[in-house]
Structure 1
Protein backbone atom coordinates (compact mmCIF):
# COMPACT_ATOMS: atom_id res chain seq x y z
CA UNK A 1 0.00 0.00 0.00
CA UNK A 2 1.33 3.43 -0.93
CA UNK A 3 1.29 6.41 1.41
CA UNK A 4 0.27 8.85 -1.36
CA UNK A 5 -3.12 10.19 -2.40
CA UNK A 6 -3.16 11.22 -6.07
CA UNK A 7 -6.14 13.07 -7.54
CA UNK A 8 -6.55 14.46 -11.03
CA UNK A 9 -9.24 16.77 -12.37
CA UNK A 10 -9.78 18.67 -15.63
CA UNK A 11 -11.05 22.12 -14.70
CA UNK A 12 -13.05 24.62 -16.80
CA UNK A 13 -10.39 27.36 -16.89
CA UNK A 14 -6.94 28.03 -18.31
CA UNK A 15 -3.83 26.94 -16.40
CA UNK A 16 -3.13 30.59 -15.52
CA UNK A 17 -6.67 31.06 -14.17
CA UNK A 18 -6.47 27.87 -12.11
CA UNK A 19 -3.06 28.86 -10.74
CA UNK A 20 -4.40 32.28 -9.70
CA UNK A 21 -7.43 30.67 -8.04
CA UNK A 22 -5.26 28.30 -5.96
CA UNK A 23 -2.52 30.75 -4.97
CA UNK A 24 -4.22 34.10 -4.28
CA UNK A 25 -5.51 34.56 -0.70
CA UNK A 26 -8.85 36.20 -1.56
CA UNK A 27 -9.53 33.40 -4.06
CA UNK A 28 -8.26 30.52 -1.90
CA UNK A 29 -10.56 31.32 1.00
CA UNK A 30 -13.53 30.76 -1.35
CA UNK A 31 -12.70 27.11 -2.04
CA UNK A 32 -10.53 25.99 0.90
CA UNK A 33 -12.25 23.42 3.10
CA UNK A 34 -15.32 21.24 2.67
CA UNK A 35 -18.46 22.68 1.08
CA UNK A 36 -20.06 23.53 4.42
CA UNK A 37 -16.94 25.01 6.07
CA UNK A 38 -15.88 28.62 6.40
CA UNK A 39 -12.32 29.89 6.85
CA UNK A 40 -12.53 32.70 9.44
CA UNK A 41 -8.75 32.99 9.99
CA UNK A 42 -6.00 32.30 7.49
CA UNK A 43 -2.77 33.19 5.76
CA UNK A 44 -3.40 31.39 2.47
CA UNK A 45 -0.88 33.04 0.16
CA UNK A 46 0.53 30.23 -1.98
CA UNK A 47 1.95 32.64 -4.59
CA UNK A 48 5.31 32.73 -2.79
CA UNK A 49 7.41 30.46 -0.56
CA UNK A 50 6.71 30.90 3.14
CA UNK A 51 4.43 29.89 6.00
CA UNK A 52 0.68 29.45 5.66
CA UNK A 53 -2.22 28.42 7.89
CA UNK A 54 -5.99 28.03 7.81
CA UNK A 55 -8.55 27.81 10.59
CA UNK A 56 -11.64 26.10 9.19
CA UNK A 57 -14.98 26.22 10.97
CA UNK A 58 -17.71 23.63 10.65
CA UNK A 59 -21.41 24.61 10.86
CA UNK A 60 -21.54 23.45 14.52
CA UNK A 61 -18.69 25.86 15.43
CA UNK A 62 -15.97 23.21 15.67
CA UNK A 63 -12.68 24.63 14.43
CA UNK A 64 -9.88 22.72 12.70
CA UNK A 65 -6.44 24.13 11.98
CA UNK A 66 -3.87 23.10 9.41
CA UNK A 67 -0.58 24.83 8.62
CA UNK A 68 2.66 24.43 6.74
CA UNK A 69 5.19 26.08 4.49
CA UNK A 70 4.98 26.75 0.78
CA UNK A 71 8.31 25.31 -0.38
CA UNK A 72 8.22 25.79 -4.16
CA UNK A 73 6.22 27.91 -6.60
CA UNK A 74 6.62 27.78 -10.39
CA UNK A 75 3.79 29.81 -11.98
CA UNK A 76 1.52 28.73 -13.54
CA UNK A 77 2.40 25.04 -13.34
CA UNK A 78 3.58 23.88 -9.90
CA UNK A 79 3.22 24.41 -6.15
CA UNK A 80 4.70 22.35 -3.29
CA UNK A 81 3.93 22.78 0.39
CA UNK A 82 4.06 21.02 3.73
CA UNK A 83 0.89 20.16 5.65
CA UNK A 84 0.22 19.45 9.31
CA UNK A 85 -3.00 19.33 11.33
CA UNK A 86 -3.07 20.96 14.76
CA UNK A 87 -4.38 18.52 17.36
CA UNK A 88 -7.53 19.89 18.97
CA UNK A 89 -7.78 22.83 16.57
CA UNK A 90 -6.24 26.32 16.87
CA UNK A 91 -3.61 26.53 19.60
CA UNK A 92 -3.08 22.78 19.66
CA UNK A 93 0.26 21.12 18.93
CA UNK A 94 1.06 20.55 15.27
CA UNK A 95 0.93 16.90 14.26
CA UNK A 96 2.91 14.92 11.73
CA UNK A 97 4.10 16.91 8.74
CA UNK A 98 3.18 15.64 5.29
CA UNK A 99 3.88 17.01 1.81
CA UNK A 100 1.61 18.15 -1.02
CA UNK A 101 2.33 18.98 -4.66
CA UNK A 102 -0.02 20.46 -7.23
CA UNK A 103 0.76 20.32 -10.95
CA UNK A 104 -1.26 22.29 -13.50
CA UNK A 105 -1.11 21.88 -17.27
CA UNK A 106 -3.16 23.04 -20.25
CA UNK A 107 -5.84 20.58 -21.37
CA UNK A 108 -7.18 22.36 -24.43
CA UNK A 109 -8.70 25.78 -24.86
CA UNK A 110 -9.79 27.23 -21.51
CA UNK A 111 -9.27 23.93 -19.68
CA UNK A 112 -6.53 22.78 -17.35
CA UNK A 113 -5.57 19.52 -15.70
CA UNK A 114 -4.72 19.74 -12.02
CA UNK A 115 -2.93 16.82 -10.34
CA UNK A 116 -2.63 16.86 -6.56
CA UNK A 117 -0.38 14.46 -4.69
CA UNK A 118 -0.43 14.27 -0.89
CA UNK A 119 2.55 12.26 0.39
CA UNK A 120 3.61 10.65 3.67
CA UNK A 121 0.10 9.95 4.98
CA UNK A 122 1.13 6.70 6.66
CA UNK A 123 -2.18 4.94 7.38
CA UNK A 124 -5.18 3.76 5.38
CA UNK A 125 -7.45 5.98 7.49
CA UNK A 126 -5.26 9.05 6.86
CA UNK A 127 -5.20 8.37 3.13
CA UNK A 128 -8.97 7.82 2.96
CA UNK A 129 -9.73 10.93 5.03
CA UNK A 130 -7.44 13.16 3.00
CA UNK A 131 -8.76 11.76 -0.28
CA UNK A 132 -12.33 12.62 0.81
CA UNK A 133 -11.23 16.08 1.90
CA UNK A 134 -9.33 16.89 -1.27
CA UNK A 135 -12.18 15.58 -3.45
CA UNK A 136 -14.60 17.92 -1.64
CA UNK A 137 -12.16 20.80 -2.16
CA UNK A 138 -11.77 19.93 -5.86
CA UNK A 139 -15.57 20.00 -6.21
CA UNK A 140 -15.78 23.41 -4.52
CA UNK A 141 -12.91 24.75 -6.66
CA UNK A 142 -14.50 23.46 -9.86
CA UNK A 143 -17.83 25.12 -9.00
CA UNK A 144 -15.98 28.39 -8.41
CA UNK A 145 -14.33 28.20 -11.84
CA UNK A 146 -17.49 27.31 -13.78
Structure 2
Protein backbone atom coordinates (compact mmCIF):
# COMPACT_ATOMS: atom_id res chain seq x y z
CA UNK A 1 0.00 0.00 0.00
CA UNK A 2 1.23 3.48 -0.89
CA UNK A 3 1.88 5.97 1.89
CA UNK A 4 -0.54 8.27 0.06
CA UNK A 5 -3.49 5.87 0.08
CA UNK A 6 -6.75 7.16 1.50
CA UNK A 7 -7.92 4.99 4.40
CA UNK A 8 -11.28 5.27 6.13
CA UNK A 9 -12.79 3.04 8.79
CA UNK A 10 -16.38 3.29 9.99
CA UNK A 11 -18.49 1.17 12.31
CA UNK A 12 -22.05 0.37 11.30
CA UNK A 13 -24.90 -0.99 13.41
CA UNK A 14 -25.86 -3.40 10.64
CA UNK A 15 -24.95 -7.04 9.99
CA UNK A 16 -22.10 -7.72 7.59
CA UNK A 17 -24.40 -9.23 4.93
CA UNK A 18 -26.48 -6.04 4.81
CA UNK A 19 -23.37 -3.86 4.49
CA UNK A 20 -22.10 -6.13 1.68
CA UNK A 21 -25.40 -5.64 -0.16
CA UNK A 22 -25.01 -1.85 0.10
CA UNK A 23 -21.55 -2.13 -1.54
CA UNK A 24 -22.55 -4.46 -4.38
CA UNK A 25 -26.23 -4.01 -5.31
CA UNK A 26 -27.06 -1.25 -7.85
CA UNK A 27 -30.22 0.11 -6.16
CA UNK A 28 -28.60 0.06 -2.71
CA UNK A 29 -25.43 1.74 -4.01
CA UNK A 30 -27.67 4.46 -5.48
CA UNK A 31 -28.94 5.31 -1.99
CA UNK A 32 -25.53 6.44 -0.70
CA UNK A 33 -23.11 6.63 -3.66
CA UNK A 34 -24.12 6.06 -7.29
CA UNK A 35 -26.17 3.39 -9.02
CA UNK A 36 -24.21 0.91 -11.12
CA UNK A 37 -25.26 -0.72 -14.34
CA UNK A 38 -24.83 -4.18 -12.76
CA UNK A 39 -24.02 -5.86 -9.43
CA UNK A 40 -20.43 -5.75 -8.14
CA UNK A 41 -20.51 -9.20 -6.57
CA UNK A 42 -18.35 -11.18 -9.05
CA UNK A 43 -14.69 -10.82 -10.00
CA UNK A 44 -14.11 -9.85 -13.62
CA UNK A 45 -17.24 -7.71 -13.97
CA UNK A 46 -16.79 -4.38 -15.77
CA UNK A 47 -19.27 -1.79 -14.51
CA UNK A 48 -20.31 1.83 -14.78
CA UNK A 49 -21.48 4.17 -12.03
CA UNK A 50 -24.37 6.23 -13.33
CA UNK A 51 -25.25 9.90 -12.87
CA UNK A 52 -28.26 10.55 -10.66
CA UNK A 53 -29.79 12.81 -13.32
CA UNK A 54 -31.96 10.53 -15.43
CA UNK A 55 -32.46 13.33 -17.98
CA UNK A 56 -28.75 13.39 -18.84
CA UNK A 57 -28.05 11.88 -22.24
CA UNK A 58 -24.91 10.02 -21.17
CA UNK A 59 -25.31 8.81 -17.59
CA UNK A 60 -21.77 7.34 -17.42
CA UNK A 61 -20.03 9.00 -14.49
CA UNK A 62 -17.27 6.63 -13.36
CA UNK A 63 -16.25 3.11 -14.25
CA UNK A 64 -14.30 0.14 -13.00
CA UNK A 65 -13.74 -3.58 -12.90
CA UNK A 66 -14.29 -5.92 -9.96
CA UNK A 67 -10.93 -7.53 -9.16
CA UNK A 68 -11.98 -9.53 -6.07
CA UNK A 69 -15.37 -10.33 -4.57
CA UNK A 70 -15.20 -12.46 -1.44
CA UNK A 71 -18.71 -12.06 0.01
CA UNK A 72 -19.27 -10.69 2.58
CA UNK A 73 -15.69 -9.92 3.63
CA UNK A 74 -13.74 -8.21 0.86
CA UNK A 75 -14.41 -6.32 -2.35
CA UNK A 76 -11.68 -4.87 -4.57
CA UNK A 77 -12.37 -2.88 -7.72
CA UNK A 78 -10.73 -0.37 -9.98
CA UNK A 79 -12.04 3.18 -9.92
CA UNK A 80 -11.67 5.91 -12.50
CA UNK A 81 -13.56 8.87 -13.90
CA UNK A 82 -13.16 11.63 -16.45
CA UNK A 83 -11.82 14.19 -13.94
CA UNK A 84 -8.71 12.11 -13.34
CA UNK A 85 -8.25 11.62 -17.09
CA UNK A 86 -8.95 7.89 -16.94
CA UNK A 87 -6.16 7.26 -14.39
CA UNK A 88 -6.96 3.85 -12.90
CA UNK A 89 -7.00 3.62 -9.11
CA UNK A 90 -7.99 0.78 -6.79
CA UNK A 91 -10.56 0.70 -3.98
CA UNK A 92 -10.53 -2.09 -1.40
CA UNK A 93 -13.43 -2.65 1.00
CA UNK A 94 -12.79 -4.88 4.03
CA UNK A 95 -15.75 -5.91 6.17
CA UNK A 96 -15.42 -7.42 9.62
CA UNK A 97 -18.35 -8.58 11.75
CA UNK A 98 -18.30 -7.11 15.25
CA UNK A 99 -21.19 -8.50 17.28
CA UNK A 100 -24.37 -7.46 15.44
CA UNK A 101 -22.51 -4.74 13.53
CA UNK A 102 -19.75 -4.30 10.96
CA UNK A 103 -16.42 -2.54 10.77
CA UNK A 104 -16.00 -1.25 7.21
CA UNK A 105 -12.53 -0.25 6.04
CA UNK A 106 -11.97 1.56 2.73
CA UNK A 107 -8.53 1.87 1.15
CA UNK A 108 -8.25 3.95 -2.04
CA UNK A 109 -4.85 3.62 -3.74
CA UNK A 110 -3.31 4.99 -6.91
CA UNK A 111 -4.20 8.67 -6.54
CA UNK A 112 -0.48 9.46 -6.23
CA UNK A 113 0.26 8.82 -9.91
CA UNK A 114 0.57 12.52 -10.70
CA UNK A 115 3.60 14.67 -9.98
CA UNK A 116 1.69 16.62 -7.30
CA UNK A 117 -1.08 14.28 -6.08
CA UNK A 118 -2.43 16.43 -3.24
CA UNK A 119 -5.36 17.77 -5.28
CA UNK A 120 -6.59 14.26 -6.14
CA UNK A 121 -5.99 13.02 -2.60
CA UNK A 122 -7.77 15.96 -0.98
CA UNK A 123 -10.75 15.86 -3.34
CA UNK A 124 -11.28 12.11 -3.05
CA UNK A 125 -10.69 12.12 0.72
CA UNK A 126 -13.45 14.72 1.10
CA UNK A 127 -15.73 12.83 -1.29
CA UNK A 128 -15.36 9.53 0.56
CA UNK A 129 -16.16 11.32 3.85
CA UNK A 130 -19.44 12.61 2.38
CA UNK A 131 -20.43 9.27 0.86
CA UNK A 132 -19.58 7.24 3.96
CA UNK A 133 -21.53 9.71 6.08
CA UNK A 134 -24.60 9.02 3.88
CA UNK A 135 -24.04 5.26 4.14
CA UNK A 136 -23.82 5.48 7.92
CA UNK A 137 -27.00 7.56 7.98
CA UNK A 138 -29.16 5.17 5.90
CA UNK A 139 -27.98 1.70 6.86
TM-score (norm 2): 0.83
Pairing 1:114–2:104 present: yes
On the 8 A contact 2:62/2:82 being kept in 1, the answer is yes
1:128 equivalent to 2:118? Answer no
Separation of aligned partners in 2, 1:136 and 1:46:
21
Distance 1:44 1:98 in 2: 20
From 38, 53, 59, give the equivalent of 2:48.
53
The 2-side partners of 1:44 and 1:3 are apart by 30
Q: When you count strand as a share of all residues, which structure comes out higher?
A: 1
Gaps of 5+ in 1: 34-38, 88-92
The alpha-carbon distance between structure 1 residues 85 and 117, as it changes in their structure 2 partners (threshold 3 A), is same
Contact 1:25 1:44 (8 Å CA) reproduced = yes
Does structure 1 conserve the Cα–Cα contact (< 8 Å) formed by 2:89 and 2:110? Answer: yes
Residues 1:78 and 2:74 are matched in the alignment: yes
Q: Give the whole-Å Cα distance in 2 for the aligned partners of 1:105 and 1:71.
A: 19
Q: 1:6 to 1:44 in 2, by over 3 A?
A: farther
CA RMSD after TM alignment: 2.2
Runs of 4+ in structure 1 off by over 2 angstroms are: 55-58
Unaligned runs of at least 5 residues, structure 2: none
Q: Is 1:140 aligned with 2:134?
A: yes
Aligned twin of 2:86: 95
Give the TM-score normalised by the residue count of structure 1.
0.79
Deviation at 1:55, TM superposition (A): 2.7
Name the SS of the counterpart of 2:76 in structure 1.
strand
Q: Aligned residue for 1:90?
A: none
